[in-house]
Amino acid sequence: MPARAKPAPNTQAQATQPPSRTQSPKPARPSSADPQLPWRPATRVLVSLLVAIHLLAVFVAPWNLSTRAALPPGYTPGTDSSGRPLPPPPPDEPPWQQPRLIRALAGIFRHYQNLAYLNHGYEFFAPDPAGTHLIRYRVSRPDGKVIEGHFPDLKSQWPRLFYHRHMMLAEQTAGMGEASGNHYAEHLARVHGGKAHLEWVVHLLLSPKQVRDGKELDAPDTYRVLATVDADASLLKLPPTEEHPPGPLPQGSAILQPYRANGGGR
Amino acid sequence: MIGTLASGRDYCKELYRAWNAFWFSPTDPATLSLLRVLAGAMLFYTHLIWSLDLPAFLGPEGWLPVEYLRHEVQVQDVNGMQVPIWSVWSLFFWIDSTWLLWSVHLFALAVFFCLMIGLFSRTVAILGYLLAVSYVQRVSPGAFFGLDKVNVMLVMYLMLGPCGARYSLDRLLRLRHAQQSQPKDPVSTTPSTSANIAIRLIQLHLCIIYLFAGIAKLEGANWQAGTAVWWAVANLEYQSLDMTWLARWPILVALATHLTVFWEVSYCFLVWNRYTRPLVLWMAVLVHAGIALAMGLMTFGLAMIIANMSFLSPATVRRWVDPLAARISLLLVGKQVG
């Protein structure tokens, strides 16, 4: 690609006002043999190396995230004493084959990628678009008032980017596990003061045929509860104030209710 | 044998020349300056939105407390113990008071605004990058998405070049100052090697983004079957324009799905050819505008279109933007400059 004779949209228009050299008391010492390349060769070599290393780091991050260990061709799992097939071993054990080069490069660049925020992939709507997750909540306050809501919610979260941030909150719970759900419940209990009950819901997608047959995208049976969480503000860790000085917390005050999965997983 | 060596030497010489031309030819900083204006605006808006519920998203005890992120999520295994990864960093990991949180946030907004208008451009580009990384690392995982990745990418490369050379308050201030000291040539803008490197890095980073976005889709059964676009537009939470009429046009869905995958996978090859480049870039506008309008991802779509503008030549940028910039400079300093 760089070897193309005319590859560059960026160099097509260099015709700007030339630098005014006439006002300089002494003519500048030429820094490069090629007048089209103002930087010295040593500088160019150094920058070339840095650019190559950086681009390799940029490339390795999504490469590493998109590659998985593989079983050897023709691998067949063994059977137990009853003749039933055994489950395959964990992916980090033989006979799984690890992508060693990619993992090694990822190890080398790991901290650079973290520092520069290059530590992610680019899997937009991949490998397949899926239904969205939502969080429904109900907070029962001590004064008897009940606050209900859900996120993301177009009616209360505006503009669209703010709504989208809440959508990501609900969506990324799936990757973080049950503790994140507990923290959402604790946050709501802390903000509203009371007992919070959360439902983690998936909104299933309809096929073209279902839509042609007249089914609505928000039909009640397209929402499925995956898990629930409960939290109580009266048991939460309070910020140190004059009324609540720092000190030992009451037992069981941090994580409150066990995460109960009561629906089909995805 | 000698002929083979000679042709090999010629190849290396040609490669060396091409590499130098690609990376180190000075270029007009017009494209980089335009990207600064647009990316600065996008960064300012993106971070302004955090203001609507700043403590919840970025405070120490928000939706996802810092303690939880640092000690349970962003961790690595060291001698059998889970310890925080030191290189995942954010200013917000050390902020534990509301007033400091808001102070940093207001400072960040000022930085992004200055980047947009081009005031102390290079300095605020560096600060903007550090701040943008701080915000996104605080919400990863949690509330980040593709927009943040593109924002950080753009500001990372903006700080490498003279992003305030054109279309900036810096330039107008230089003009006002230079009118007194150099009335004959007050605002010459020299071609810049670092501007070229910054633009090249954005272009190549964008190629990597599309390549892996395409490869990831190739693994999806619905992308292979040509139905993925349907599942995307049938998602009510994303929907900002009702496209469910596509249920009656499966052939259109299939066409859009396959075109998207082919375009993403081939972007990194076809964008460098001057004949296919316009097709690839117009397809980018079509895809991202479609995502923005139909799926409510306006900010992400715009950010990707801004990144694609790195392939515009400085001459094209100047033809479009200089007239507007000249009017603004006439208004502000009484002289027309691009």
* ipTM (interface predicted TM): 0.95
Question: How many A×B Cβ pairs under 8 Å?
Answer: 273
Domain assignments of chain B as residue spans, ordered by start: 27-178, 193-296
CA–CA separation, A67 and B138 (whole Å): 26
A242 φ/ψ angles, rounded to the nearest 5 degrees = -65, -35
> In this structure, are residues B86 and B151 in contact, taking their beta carbons and an 8 Å threshold?
no
| Token pair 């991050």: residue | A61
Cβ neighbours of residue B186 closer than 8 Å, sequence gap 6 or more: B174, B175, B178, B179, B335
CA–CA separation, B13 and B19 (whole Å): 10
CA distance A157 to chain B (A): 9
Per-residue burial over B154-164, b if 16 or more Cβ lie within 10 Å, else e, is bbbbbbbbbbb
Q: Which of A16, A53, A108 is the best substitution to test chain B (most B C-beta atoms within 10 A)?
A: A16
Q: Which of A10, A129, A187 sits opposite B235 (nearest CB)?
A: A129
Mean pLDDT of A144-150: 95
Top pLDDT among A179 and B106 is at: B106
Tokens representing residue A179 in the block: 């503790």
Tokens representing residue A208 in the block: 């073209």
Task: For chain A, list the strands marked E by DSSP.
Answer: 132-140, 146-151, 195-203, 223-232
Indicate the pairing of strand B81-84 with strand A132-140: unpaired
Half-sphere exposure in the Cβ direction for A58 (13 Å, CA): 23
Cβ neighbours of residue B6 closer than 8 Å, sequence gap 6 or more: none
B198-225 tens-digit pLDDT: 999 999 999 999 999 999 999 999 999 9
Domain assignments of chain A as residue spans, ordered by start: 41-73+84-116, 132-235
Judging contacts by C-beta atoms under 8 Å, the chain B residues touching residue A175 are 141
Contact flag A44-B20 (C-beta cutoff 8 Å) = yes
> In this structure, are residues A162 and B127 in contact, taking their beta carbons and an 8 Å threshold?
no
A156-179 tens-digit pLDDT: 999 999 999 999 999 998 777 778
Contact flag B24-A3 (C-beta cutoff 8 Å) = no
Specify the pLDDT at position A33.
61
Q: Which of residues 130-169 of A touch B (CB under 8 A)?
A: 130-132, 134, 152, 159-169
B17-26 tens-digit pLDDT: 999 999 999 9
Tokens representing residue B167 in the block: 């279309």
Q: Which of residues 72-91 of A touch B (CB under 8 A)?
A: none
Specify the pLDDT at position B111.
98
Specify the pLDDT at position A234.
67
Contact flag A19-B72 (C-beta cutoff 8 Å) = no
Question: A12 and chain B: CB distance < 8 Å anywhere?
Answer: yes
Top pLDDT among B248 and B82 is at: B248
Contact flag B253-A180 (C-beta cutoff 8 Å) = no
Per-residue burial over A229-253, b if 16 or more Cβ lie within 10 Å, else e, is bbbbbebbeeeeeeeeeeeeeeeee
Contact flag B61-A187 (C-beta cutoff 8 Å) = yes
> In this structure, are residues B129 and B156 in contact, taking their beta carbons and an 8 Å threshold?
yes
In the structure, what pLDDT confidence band is assigned to residue A237 with cuts at 50, 70 and 90?
A: low
Specify the pLDDT at position A243.
38
A65-122 tens-digit pLDDT: 999 999 888 888 788 888 888 887 888 888 899 999 999 999 999 999 999 999 999 9
CA distance B252 to chain A (A): 12
Judging contacts by C-beta atoms under 8 Å, the chain B residues touching residue A14 are 25-28, 191, 314
- Please provide the average confidence, as pLDDT, over all residues in chain A: 80
Contact flag A10-B133 (C-beta cutoff 8 Å) = no
- A264 by DSSP, 3-state: which? coil
Specify the pLDDT at position B334.
79
Question: B191 and chain A: CB distance < 8 Å anywhere?
Answer: yes
Mean pLDDT of B273-292: 97
Out of B78-92, B137-151, B219-233, least confident range: B78-92
CA of A223: which chain B residue's CA is closest?
B236
Question: B186 and chain A: CB distance < 8 Å anywhere?
Answer: no
CA–CA separation, B35 and B168 (whole Å): 12
Specify the pLDDT at position A24.
46
